[in-house]
Amino acid sequence: MSGSKSEVSPEILASVSTPDVVESRLGTLEFDDGAPSEKTAALLYDHLDFVKLYNPLQPFFDKTWWPSEIEPI
């Protein structure tokens, strides 16, 4: 279809757009067309590492792990 032009209404565009900056409890998250900046990606990966570090607490509450199972190295 040569010569045809697809247009998107501002309402539809706004409904599918992502913000460039999001304030969160982790700090300011920055995005470019929905993709995180390098700084934002690093911050989120650091947060995931932190969450995984403390995840062993869940088995304690599930009663699938006990403190006596910890052995000194």
Question: In degrees, to the nearest 5, what angle opens at C-alpha 40 toward C-alphas 35 and 45?
Answer: 105
DSSP track, 12-65: HHHHH---SEEEETTEEEEEETTEEPHHHHHHHHHHHHHHHHHTTHHHHHHTS-
**For residue 66, pLDDT beyond 80:** no
Instruction: Read off the pTM.
Output: 0.55
- In whole angstroms, give the CA distance from residue 40 to residue 19: 13
Between 38 and 65, name the one with better pLDDT: 38
Pair of tokens at residue 37: 């900046």
> 7-43: per-residue pLDDT in tens?
888 888 778 777 899 999 999 999 998 899 999 999 9
